[in-house]
Amino acid sequence: MLRGVLYSAIRKSNPKLGEFLHNQGFEIQGHRYKLITFSLLFPKSSQKEKNGIKMTPPIHWWISSPLSSPLEALATTLLCEGKIKLGKTELTVEKIEVEETPQFKNPSVFKTLSPIVVSAGVYYGNKLEHRFLSPQEHEFWRIVELNLRRKALVLGINVSQEPLKFQSIGKWHSKLFEIQKIKVKGWEGSFSVEGCLELIKLGYEAGFGERNAQGFGMVTFHKYHQT
């Protein structure tokens, strides 16, 4: 539902951009990136009910992109219409705020606002299937970095070839979602990262890991990590 709100709002203010992001995105090395991500909903309080979740406002929702045009189109629609419809529920847009991008230092700590998804192809006989990885696996962070480097290529950002250093902090929790009838497993938690600040900033703006445009991999800057 949130993904639908996002693309619909962008399309209303900028139809060409909305269609491009929804149907195509930016392609590099056989991968497509929409370069936009969003968080889960963060209400004042919530409780499960038989037919869904009851949320008490105010409800916060974060959207991020290294590109200004989709954010401008989104904000224009939301400000003009003043409403968001999630299924049968209509929400009032109380205000839109722009957060200042932090000045990142090494190492920095982030906390997920939506789960990070990372997968790897595994052959079972002649059939290739995708296995979702966990932050406890070294391959998880290697793929996160590779993903970031492809996004940098899309944007033409020159980045250092020195590997990023990721470290999980505390306990992570997995969450299972169903996206277009596909089961998707993501992880929530905190982590530190050290290395090329341009790549770190790109992860903050475009999301870490895969499926960012479906609402995965968004983070908030938590603090500087004292070593």
The pLDDT of 136-145, averaged and rounded, is 95
Residues 137 and 170 in one domain: yes
The pLDDT of 15-22, averaged and rounded, is 87
Residue 226: pLDDT over 90: no
Angle between helices 68-81 and 15-23 in degrees, nearest 10: 120
Residues 71 and 147 in one domain: no
Domain that holds residue 8: 2-92
At which of 27, 61, 92 does a domain end? Answer: 92
Higher pLDDT, 99 or 224: 99
pLDDT score recorded for residue 108: 92
CB atoms near residue 66 (< 10 Å): 21
Residue 205: pLDDT over 90: yes
State the pLDDT confidence band at 31, using cuts at 50, 70 and 90.
Answer: confident
Residue 198: pLDDT over 80: yes
The pLDDT of 151-180, averaged and rounded, is 94
Six token digits for residue 144? 């996160």
Residues in CB range of 218: below 8 A, 6 or more apart:
37, 38, 39, 62, 64, 112, 113, 114, 207, 212
Per residue in 82-93, is it b (16+ CB within 10 Å) or e — as a string?
A: eebeeeeeebee
The pLDDT of 103-119, averaged and rounded, is 95
Instruction: Please state the domain count of the chain.
Output: 2
Rounded CA-CA distance 95/170 in Å is: 34
Contact 39, 61 (CB under 8 A): yes
pLDDT score recorded for residue 223: 66
At which of 92, 116, 135 does a domain end? Answer: 92
Higher pLDDT, 28 or 187: 187
At which of 39, 65, 92 does a domain end? Answer: 92
